[in-house]
Amino acid sequence: MTAGCSSGRRYAVRNEEGRVSKRPGCVWCGIDGGKGHHWAAVVDETGTTVWSKKIDNDESAILTALGEILDLADEVRWAVDISGTPSALLLALLAAHGQQAVYVPGRTVNRMAGAYRGEAKTDARDAYVIAETARHRRDLATIGVPVQLAADLTLLTSHRTDLVADRVRLINRLRDVLTGIFPALERDSGRRTGNLHRPKRYSRRLRRVFYLSAQTSIIREGPNRDFYLKKRGEGLKHVQAIIALARRRASVLWALLRDNRVFTFLPPATQTA
């Protein structure tokens, strides 16, 4: 018998090629925590590993893994073997996305590992054992994330969003300065005879900035989260919805630069003939 999920049903969904595939209703994610990195393993209701990767103990890496795992099933049950400082960022990010984790003590992991002989002790194996323990047991304690920690994380992510916006403004100012000194650069800067257009060449680093800023913007209530939820409701996976949001935010920024105006929640007044 499995624990934690309301049901073990599978739902038929269509992949990008239009083929019908079986999506599990619930999966269990076990995380072997560490200071520098974590290892996460995801199992379905049969105990089969469906996802297993090393995750750097970094916000962007954790958010990327979080998105991939949430796309695996309709419900994800999380379990960790460390509830202290090494997993503080991980637990705070889970809480910010409405996810909770249970605590699997190290002694329990060691006892359960005896049932899975034949493999050497590795981070991947420990993560699998943690996931399997969470799948079978119902008596594991839920880890509560302090309200202050979640609030601090929200403040930090908001500050990071501001820094990203400052970076974008700095890049635009730098572009204007460079094209003023060397007008030939206008071929690549997106400016022709005073009009802005979307350039064919782009910065991959800047594209990643837009992706990460879109990912952090959905934590707080507002138009960014509303747009993300709308795309999820249209059937897009987490990563696809984030990319759509990043493109939308880039389009809005481009329009602001084109029209030389500042952002407002209300649409600009249209000029009547």
By mean pLDDT, which of 25-34, 45-54, 253-262 is the weakest? Answer: 253-262
Same-domain status, 252 and 184: yes
pLDDT beyond 60 at 212: yes
In this structure, the answer to whether residues 138 and 151 fall within a common structural domain is: no
Q: Of 124-138, 147-161, 205-219, 254-268, where does mean pLDDT reach its minimum? A: 147-161
Q: At what angle do helices 88-96 and 147-181 cross, to 10 degrees?
A: 90
- Tell me how far apart the alpha carbons of residues 136 and 192 are, in angstroms, rounded to a whole number: 64
Q: Which residues pair with 28 in a beta bridge?
A: 43, 77
User: Is 163 in the same domain as 248?
Assistant: yes
Query: Does residue 270 belong to any structural domain of this protein?
Result: no
The pLDDT value given to residue 84:
82
Asked if the structure places residue 243 within a domain, the reply is yes
- What pLDDT digit, counting tens, does each position of 44-55 carry? 999 999 999 999
Residues 231-249 as b/e (b if ≥16 CB within 10 A, e otherwise) read: bbeeebbbebbbbbbbebb
SS3 at position 246: helix
One domain, residues 137 and 155 = no
Q: Which residue has the higher pLDDT, 91 or 272?
A: 91
Range of the domain at 152: 147-259
Q: Which residues, other chains included, contact 145 with Cβ-Cβ below 8 Å and sequence gap of 6+? A: 91, 92, 94, 95
Residue 127 lies in a domain: yes
**Chosen domain end from 123, 142, 161:** 142
Euclidean distance between CA atoms 93 and 219, whole angstroms: 9
Instruction: For residues 151 and 123, state if they share a domain.
Output: no
- Residues with Cβ within 8 Å of 61's Cβ and at least 6 positions away in sequence, in order, are 55
Q: In percent, how much of the chain has pLDDT > 70? A: 74
Give domain status of residue 169, yes or no.
yes
Measured between its terminal Cα atoms, the distance across the chain in Å is 70
Specify whether 182 is located in the same domain as 251: yes
Q: Report if residue 138 sits inside a domain.
A: yes
Q: DSSP 3-state assignment of 254?
A: helix
Same domain, 111 and 158: no
Asked which of 45-59, 139-153, 207-221 is least confident by mean pLDDT, the reply is 139-153
Residues 105 and 185 in one domain: no
Provide the domain count of the chain. Answer: 2
Task: Give the model's pLDDT for residue 105.
Answer: 92
Q: Tell whether 175 and 115 lie within a shared domain.
A: no
Of 150, 147, 37, 40, which is closest to residue 92 (Cα–Cα)? 150
Residues 159, 123 within the same domain: no
**Do 116 and 193 reside in the same domain of the chain?**
no
Region 12-18: mean pLDDT is 44
pTM: 0.54
Within a domain: 173 = yes
Of 142, 167, 197, the one marking the end of a domain is: 142
Instruction: For the chain, give the number of residues.
Output: 273
DSSP one-letter string for 198-226: --SS--HHHHHHHHHHHHHHTTSSSHHHH
Residue 60 lies in a domain: yes
**Residue 34 β-bridge partners:** none
CATH number for the domain harbouring residue 106: 3.30.420.10
Whether the CB-CB separation of 101 and 142 falls below 8 Å is answered with yes
Q: Which candidate, 124, 73, 68, places its Cα nearest to that of 238?
A: 68
Q: Are residues 121 and 228 in the same domain?
A: no
The Cβ-side half-sphere exposure at 14, using a 13 Å CA radius, reads 6
Instruction: Confirm whether 5 is domain-assigned.
Output: no
Distance CA 82, CA 166 (A): 36
What CA–CA distances, in Å, run from 227 to 164, 183, 189, 208, 243? 20, 38, 29, 19, 11
Given a contact cutoff of 8 angstroms between Cβ atoms, the answer to whether 217 and 160 are in contact is: no
Among 119, 142, 165, give the residue marking a domain's end.
142
pLDDT above 60 for 138: yes
What percent of the chain clears pLDDT 90, i.e. is strictly above it?
33
pLDDT at position 264? 81
